[in-house]
Each structure stands twice: as C-alpha cells, then as structure tokens.
C-alpha cells in the first residue's frame, strides 16, 4: 500500500457548529444521513499528515463534493448557475459549467476546500452520485457530453489548486454517465482521470473475453487513457472491498483480483485503488484487502498459494477449514455476481437485479439456487469451538452468508411470483426474511451507531423489496 484515500461518503456537511458531535444512535445517524469526516479531519488531520509523510504514503481527500461547492441555497437568486433539464433550471444536481457565475462560485469554494484539507496529494471533487440525468442542456452545454461537462468543472477547480498547491493533483471521475472518455474538453496539466467501473461484472476478470460487459468496460478504459495522453494520467478505482455494491457481502475475489491487476498492468496503469465503503465493520482478518494489497504489489498472484499462506498465518490448526470456507464463498458469491445481460432495476443498484430480459432472471434464479448450496457449505466448513482470529473470522463470514442467502432467496421469490407460483414465492420470501433478520441481528451486535447513516437505509430498502415481491405474488406484506 502506498496511498491512503479519505473518501468522505456520504459527504460531510459544510458549516456545522464548531464542536458538533456525531449522532449517538443508529437512528439519529440515519436521520442525519451525512458523513463526519470533516470533523474527524479537523481533530486529527495534522497527525495523519505527519504520519503519512513519515511512512511515505500519498494522501488523497474528497468524494462527491462538487455540488456542495455551488450551494443549492443559491438557486432562487441564481437559477442560471444550475443545469437546464427539459427546458427548466433544476437545482438538485451539479452545475451549469457554461455559467461564469457558477464557475466563479465553484472556484471560490474549491479554494476553501483545498485550504481546509491542505497537504493532500490528490483531491477529489466529484459530481453527484447519479447514474445519469444530472448535467446541463443549455445552449453552451448541450454539445458537451456529461464527461466533458464534468471535466470542465474539474478543470475550473484544478486552476485554483494549481495556484494554491503546485504539485497536487485533481481527479476527474469517470463513473456512471461520465465513464466514457470526454470528446471535446482537454484536461489541465494537474488533472488525472480516476476510472471507477462500478457497473462492471465481478464474476469475471476485467479482460475475460467471454464477458461482454467487461470487454466494453476495458475498451472505455483504453479510450480514456488515450484522451488523457497516457496510462500515468489514469488511475483505476476498484470496488473489491465495497460492501454497498456487494450488498453487505465480502466476496473473496480469489480469481478476479489477480487477473484484473495483470490486465491493468498490461495497459500500463500503475495506480489501482480499492474502495471500502461499508454499512458494517470488517470483523476479523480482512482477506479481500490483504489479497488486493498483495496482488497490487506483485502484479498478480496465485489464489491457492496465497489462501494457504493467509489461513496458515491467521488460523493455525483451523487453516484448512477456513480455506475450504473461503472457496465455497467464492463460488457462492460469483454465482450471484454473474448478471449476464440483466440490467439493474431503474434507479437501483448493481445487484438490485431487473427482469429484462426475462430469461436472464430465470437463469439468475437457477444460479441463486446453486449459490444457496455453496453458502450453506461455507457455513458447514467452519470449525466450532475456536477463539482468537478464527472466531473473529467466523463472525466475519456471518454477514456475507446471511446477506448472500437473503439475496438468493429474494431472487427465487421474485422469479416464482412472476411465474404465478404463489406458494413457492411465499416459502422463498419467508427464508429471505429469516436471513435478513440474521443479518440485522449481526449488525445490531457488531456495528457502532456511526454505521447507521448507510446501514439503516440499506436494511429498509431490503425490507421494502420483499414487501413489493409479496404484493406481486398476492401475499400480505409482513
């Protein structure tokens, strides 16, 4: 590891009272809904900077902060600062980068941001976290793609950064509707691209020729590298340790991580990062983070050798039992991560599978059935009566197994409901609710209240989804 990125998500709030305290309960954290990294940085930033310098770590700071730099409260008096959408100014997201006033406001507030978080090597002031629909259609913007508009905003902030911190870099985020390379706007000298392929397939390596989704993603990366003038100007932002994307699970990614890192290396990309946003704590030795770090350092790796080494070091006598459990989890997770042509439901996340094409959902239901067997086998492989790291790892497997089985049963319940199989849907829903209860209990026992700003909403969404399926099947929600 040679860098540390303080990813402020959900974004902290500007202008809290000095000494404001983080909410003390899960419910209050959920109602606040925002991050508290600003306050943490105020308290500990100096020490972190000093330590990072001593260890030679590159420091990065930021997140989806762009729209906070053009305050929404200004909409009533300055509507032209905000995107034109379907003929009307819309103050919800991003900004109109053709508006000189909006750019001036962005520059002034970017300067405040850089001053508050002085000393970082890379800054991230990303656009709003949307799959699409947040950019401007005014006369000055309409010919610019979302990627061009986002890069124009990044350039405006980078101009300010160049004056305040020569040598620091600003990231242009290639993500969702800005994943494609820009086509008109060129990056300033201190702007690098950060390629975040969130919608890629994690059942297969990024260069797997049999995975169309990943083939398309890799082509986008190659185009982005060309636009930025070389791989040293592009970094990859991977999701291996992201428990939002993976719906509380921590897939081992035994095969995908080393294969990906070899593929990125072949393109000349030297910077690959591992995002770890999560509604829950990591409990026990974090295989996925260790595996990523090892593969990053060595440019790939052999999963079996590494798994033996990791389990031997962490679990002693129980090493082989844990290695077997990891292998079963790997199989189970990959079955659920394989989406084929299925797109997410409109407005939802990657693993909120849609039902188009219909045969795609049927095939997924078949894989979900297999996945249930492998999650069960993973749980059965675990040794009983262990302590120390082995006990912690058993506790760490629990949310992955519960969340994975919940997701699989939910898919089966939905598929049954769509086929008019009321009874089948009812029995899968009952099991889906049981597994979600197990996950909720684990979360209550292990997660501090701070996780409430992500965890509560994710649990609510899972319950709502089950109610929708129950309604579709003609069952009473419960």
* Least distance CB 141 / Zn ion (angstroms): 3
CB neighbours of 119 closer than 8 A, spacing ≥ 6?
A: 45, 49, 59
- 145 lies in the binding site for Zn ion (CB under 5 A): no
* Least distance CB 391 / Zn ion (angstroms): 35
Q: Residues 120, 130, 141, 336: which binds Zn ion (CB under 5 A)?
A: 141
Q: Residues 138, 188, 392, 434: which binds Zn ion (CB under 5 A)?
A: 138
Contact present, 66 and 135 (Cβ < 8 Å): no
Rank residues 150 and 211 by Cβ distance to Zn ion and give the closer one.
211
Which stretch, 51-59, 133-141, 375-383, 385-393, contacts Zn ion (CB under 5 A)?
A: 133-141
Q: DSSP code of 188? A: P
Rank residues 203 and 408 by Cβ distance to Zn ion and give the closer one.
203
Element (H, E) at 335: helix 319-337
Q: Phi/psi class of residue 11: alpha, beta or left (left: φ > 0; alpha: ψ in -120 to 50)?
A: beta
Residue 10: closest CA among 43, 32, 40, 41 = 32
* Least distance CB 62 / Zn ion (angstroms): 24
Helix residue spans in 117-254 (DSSP H): 146-164, 212-227
Rank residues 136 and 157 by Cβ distance to Zn ion and give the closer one.
136
- 342 lies in the binding site for Zn ion (CB under 5 A): no
Q: Residues 29, 30, 59, 96: which binds Zn ion (CB under 5 A)?
A: 96
Which stretch, 117-125, 139-147, 231-239, 312-320, contacts Zn ion (CB under 5 A)?
A: 139-147
**Residue 109 backbone phi and psi in degrees, to 5:** -75, -30
* Least distance CB 341 / Zn ion (angstroms): 10
Rank residues 201 and 381 by Cβ distance to Zn ion and give the closer one.
201
How far apart CA 395 and CA 408 sit, in angstroms, is 21
- Tell me the CA distances in angstroms from 435 to 247, 379, 404, 410, one per residue in order: 13, 13, 9, 10
* Least distance CB 177 / Zn ion (angstroms): 15
Interface mask (CB under 5 A) for Zn ion, residues 186-205, using x and -? ---------------x-xx-
How far apart CA 119 and CA 131 sit, in angstroms, is 32
- 98 lies in the binding site for Zn ion (CB under 5 A): yes
- 428 lies in the binding site for Zn ion (CB under 5 A): no
* Least distance CB 28 / Zn ion (angstroms): 38
Which stretch, 70-78, 210-218, 257-265, 413-421, contacts Zn ion (CB under 5 A)?
A: 210-218
- The residue count for binding Zn ion (CB under 5 A) is 9
* Least distance CB 412 / Zn ion (angstroms): 21
**In this structure, what token pair is assigned to residue 343?**
């797109």
Q: Would you say the C-alpha torsion 184, 114, 125, 219 has a positive or negative sign?
A: positive
**In this structure, what token pair is assigned to residue 262?**
């070899």
Q: Report the residue count for the chain.
A: 478
Q: Residues 136, 156, 250, 307: which binds Zn ion (CB under 5 A)?
A: 136
Rank residues 29 and 96 by Cβ distance to Zn ion and give the closer one.
96
Residue with tokens 């595996």, as numbered in its chain: 291
- 211 lies in the binding site for Zn ion (CB under 5 A): yes
CA end-to-end span of the chain: 47
Binding residues for Zn ion, rule: CB under 5 A, are 96, 98, 136, 138, 141, 201, 203-204, 211
């Amino acid at each position: 590891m040679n860098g540390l990125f303080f990813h402020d998500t959900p974004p902290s709030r500007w202008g809290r009272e000095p000494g404001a305290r983080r909410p003390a309960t899960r419910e209050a954290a959920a109602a606040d809904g925002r991050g508290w990294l600003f306050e943490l940085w105020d308290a500990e930033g100096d020490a972190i900077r000093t330590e990072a310098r001593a260890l030679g770590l590159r420091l990065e700071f930021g997140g989806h902060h762009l729209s906070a730099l053009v305050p929404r409260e200004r909409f009533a008096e300055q509507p032209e600062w905000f995107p034109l959408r379907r003929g009307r100014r819309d103050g919800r997201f991003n900004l109109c980068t053709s508006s000189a006033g909006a750019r001036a406001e962005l520059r002034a507030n970017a300067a405040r941001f850089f001053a508050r978080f002085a000393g970082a090597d890379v800054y991230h002031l990303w656009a709003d976290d949307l799959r699409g629909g947040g950019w401007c259609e005014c006369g000055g913007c309409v010919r610019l793609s979302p990627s061009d508009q986002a890069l124009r905003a990044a350039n405006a902030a980078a101009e300010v950064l160049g004056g305040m911190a020569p040598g620091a870099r600003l990231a242009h985020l290639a993500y969702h509707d800005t994943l494609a390379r820009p086509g008109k706007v060129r990056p300033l000298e201190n702007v690098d691209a950060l390629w975040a392929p969130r919608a890629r397939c994690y059942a297969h390596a990024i260069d797997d020729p049999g995975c169309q989704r990943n083939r398309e993603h890799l082509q986008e990366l190659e185009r982005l590298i060309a636009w930025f003038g070389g791989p040293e100007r592009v970094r990859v932002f991977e999701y291996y340790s992201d428990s939002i994307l993976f719906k509380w699970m921590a897939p081992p990614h035994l095969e995908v991580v080393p294969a990906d890192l070899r593929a990125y290396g072949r393109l000349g990309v030297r910077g690959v990062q591992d995002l770890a946003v999560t509604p829950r704590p990591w409990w026990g030795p974090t295989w996925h983070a260790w595996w990523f770090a090892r593969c990053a350092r060595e440019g790939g790796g052999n999963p079996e050798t590494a798994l033996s080494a990791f389990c031997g070091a962490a679990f002693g006598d129980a090493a082989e039992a844990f290695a077997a459990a990891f292998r079963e989890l790997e199989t189970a997770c990959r079955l659920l991560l394989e989406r084929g042509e299925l797109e997410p439901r409109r407005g939802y996340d990657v693993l909120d599978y849609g039902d188009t094409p219909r045969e795609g959902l049927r095939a997924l239901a078949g894989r979900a059935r297999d996945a249930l067997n492998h999650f069960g086998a993973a749980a059965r492989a675990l040794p009983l009566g262990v302590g120390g790291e082995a006990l912690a790892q058993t506790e760490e497997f629990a949310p992955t197994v519960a969340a994975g089985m919940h997701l699989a049963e939910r898919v089966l319940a939905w598929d049954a409901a769509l086929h008019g199989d009321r009874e089948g849907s009812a029995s899968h829903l009952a099991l889906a609710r049981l597994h979600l209860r197990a996950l909720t209990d684990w979360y209550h026992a292990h997660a501090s209240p701070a996780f409430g700003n992500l965890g509560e909403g994710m649990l609510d969404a899972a319950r709502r989804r089950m109610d929708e399926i129950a309604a579709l099947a003609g069952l009473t929600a419960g």
